[in-house]
Amino acid sequence: MIVCTGIEKHFPGGRGVVSCDFAAADGEVTYLVGPNGSGKTTLLRMIAGSLRPDAGTVTVNGLNLRWRADAKRHLGVNLDAFAVDRSLTAWTHILWQARAAGLGTADARAALDRVGLYEVRGKRLTTFSYGMLQRVGLASALLGDPRTVVLDEPLNGLDAEGIIWMRELLAEETARGTCFLVASHIFGEVEATASRVIVLGGGQILFDGPVAELLALGEGPRRFESAYTALTSEFVSYSGKGRWPGVGTA
Ligand SMILES: Nc1ncnc2c1ncn2[C@@H]1O[C@H](COP(=O)(O)OP(=O)(O)OP(=O)(O)O)[C@@H](O)[C@H]1O
């Protein structure tokens, strides 16, 4: 379980994340949605421990993981599946990640097996499609079999078969009690697989609740889009940096 209390990050120019309180529960997929620049990745980076909050606390399973050597056993993270050294083979990449986290060969094998890539472990990542790289990223997050997993846009690059596979993986893992916190712009999948949805705009939480409650805010045949648009319209800009109250033009 992830619990964020009063978490804040301020960047120059007045952007960041403002006073976010929320929890992502075990056995559920909690999605973070919001316009470009609304603070999703910033929030995930603070939970992952790669960005220090200016205020507030993050706990995972009741623990502050910041200085724990066994953090990977509690929290799996993949924030950018394409930011890998593609000259490496899948095996070398995952094994290095495993070793850096104090894990071993068996953990690396289990993680690649879990995402269906063990058979092609000797191939270089240069030869991998975007969908395969997403699976490698997921393998990194699943190393050590953590009960809490944080993913940023894990569906980007997946084909239809990959998306169905991802749905099944989420269903299997949540049935085992795994907690997922996932940022995504793919509304169809959010609606199909979310237990809970958090909508961010301008670094603030605009909505936090079960997907059925979000749908109830919408109208017409596309209730998810309708509810989302009503909540976020004032925070959308086309610069990709989001629109922020009091910050001027984005
Ligand atoms: N290192 C940084 N320095 C300054 N501003 C930053 C930094 N990182 C993020 N920001 C700003 O903080 C805001 C939130 O960015 P963030 O990347 O968290 O948004 P996001 O919701 O993940 O966007 P996207 O949907 O495009 O991935 C944006 O306005 C962004 O420009």
pLDDT in tens, 208-234: 999 999 999 999 999 999 999 999 988
| 197 inside domain | yes
Q: Please, what is the average pLDDT of the chain? A: 91
| 186 inside domain | yes
For residues 107-128, average pLDDT:
96
Q: What is the number of the ligand 1 atom nearest to the C-alpha of 242?
A: 29
Q: How far is the CA of 121 from the centre of ligand 1 (A)?
A: 34
Q: What is the number of the ligand 1 atom nearest to the C-alpha of 12?
A: 4
CATH of the domain at 4: 3.40.50.300
Which residues on neighbouring strands pair with residue 22, listed in sequence order? 4
| 119 inside domain | no
Which residues on neighbouring strands pair with residue 238, listed in sequence order? none
Of all protein residues, the one whose alpha carbon is nearest to atom 18 of ligand 1 is 39
Q: How far is the CA of 55 from the centre of ligand 1 (A)?
A: 17
pLDDT of residue 242: 66
Of all protein residues, the one whose alpha carbon is nearest to atom 7 of ligand 1 is 11
Q: Model-level pTM?
A: 0.92
Q: What is the number of the ligand 1 atom nearest to the C-alpha of 16?
A: 12
pLDDT at residue 239 is higher than 50: yes
Which residues on neighbouring strands pair with residue 2, listed in sequence order? 24, 60
Of all protein residues, the one whose alpha carbon is nearest to atom 8 of ligand 1 is 42
| 107 inside domain | no
Question: What are the pLDDT digits (tens) for 138-166?
Answer: 999 999 999 999 999 999 989 999 999 99
| Residues spanned by the domain of 36 | 1-61+179-250
Pocket mutation for ligand 1, best pick of 9, 10, 40 (most atoms within 8 Å of C-beta): 40
Q: How far is the CA of 162 from the centre of ligand 1 (A)?
A: 28
| 145-169 per-residue burial string, b: 16 or more CB within 10 A, e: under 16 | bbbbbbbbbbbbbbeeebbebbeeb
| 150 inside domain | no
| ipTM of the complex, rounded to two decimals | 0.95
Pocket mutation for ligand 1, best pick of 237, 241, 243, 247 (most atoms within 8 Å of C-beta): 241
Q: Confidence band (pLDDT; 50, 70, 90) for 235?
A: confident
- Between 65 and 171, name the one with better pLDDT: 171
Question: What are the pLDDT digits (tens) for 160-208?
Answer: 999 999 999 999 999 999 999 999 999 999 999 999 999 999 999 999 9
CA distance 199 to 207: 5
- CA-CA-CA-CA torsion sign (129, 187, 18, 36): positive
Q: How far is the CA of 51 from the centre of ligand 1 (A)?
A: 12
Q: How far is the CA of 75 from the centre of ligand 1 (A)?
A: 22
115 with 135: CB under 8 angstroms? yes
Q: Which residues approach ligand 1 with their CB closer than 6 A? A: 11-12, 15-16, 34, 36-42, 240-242
Three-class DSSP category at 43: helix
| 212 inside domain | yes
78 with 138: CB under 8 angstroms? yes
| 224 inside domain | yes
pLDDT of residue 179: 97
Q: Confidence band (pLDDT; 50, 70, 90) for 250?
A: very low
Domain tally, the chain: 1
Question: What are the pLDDT digits (tens) for 35-49?
Answer: 998 999 999 999 998
| 7 inside domain | yes
Question: What are the pLDDT digits (tens) for 127-139?
Answer: 999 999 999 999 9
pLDDT of residue 246: 62
